[in-house]
Amino acid sequence: MSGYVVVGSQWGDEGKGKVVDLLGTNVNMVVRFQGGNNAGHTVVVNNKKIILHLLPSGILNADATCIIGPGVVVNLSVLFKEIDTLESQGFTCDHLKISDRAHLLMPYHVKIDELQELRAGAGKIGTTKNGIGPCYADKYTRIGIRVCDLRDWDVFQEKLKVVLAQKNEEIVKLFNAEPFDYDEMVATFKEYRERLLPMICDATDKIN
């Protein structure tokens, strides 16, 4: 099966989203392989300007399966807001699938990103404060929580309890900020879980 690969020149803002949107009208599958909601892709359909941050640009082609791949870090709050926005404008997202190996971008990732920038002062790096860096850091240090963990609710709760204890200690002792409440986060993700489960897939199997 032939395909297109769209890769930027590492500068950012090269127009990748527009290219994918154009190519995505004539394919049966569109896969986003990395990144998070720090990106911004603007597409125009029927004179409607639509800005996407997390959903693949090809999502507007209902005939193409759209996959958020294992290299993407997924903020579920942002994801569902984008889906709701598209559906309110008459588009469908029924063809969206999310890799079970993608990492979840958690509220504490966003908080730590913000606190790190604040602490750096004049030496800040100019992050978007969306938690992308801290989430990838957890992925590579093997303490991140993945989409597949939501399939087993007991596993998710146990992993969250362990990781959140570490993150809260960092937030309180290093940044002198308010910690997160475990029970509140569990309740939030329980709601997310019900909506997410039908979208989860084995992306490797789906693509190949």
Q: How far apart are CA 23 and CA 46, in angstroms?
A: 17
DSSP letter assigned to residue 146: B
- Extract the tokens encoding 196: 């997410």
41: Cβ contacts below 8 Å, ≥ 6 apart: 16, 17, 18, 20, 21, 51, 52, 53, 57
**Are the C-beta atoms of residues 127 and 113 closer than 8 Å to each other?**
yes
Active site residue 13: yes
- Extract the tokens encoding 130: 């969306």
**Are the C-beta atoms of residues 103 and 205 closer than 8 Å to each other?**
no
- CA-based angle 41:137:129, to the nearest 5? 45
Please name which of 54, 49, 93 lies closest in space to residue 72, comparing C-alpha atoms.
Answer: 54
- Extract the tokens encoding 178: 């308010």
Task: Name 43's bridge partners.
Answer: 50
Active site residue 95: no
- Residue 157's identity, in one-letter code, is Q
Which residue out of 41, 53, 103, 109 is catalytically annotated?
41
**Are the C-beta atoms of residues 50 and 60 closer than 8 Å to each other?**
yes
The catalytic residue positions are: 13, 41
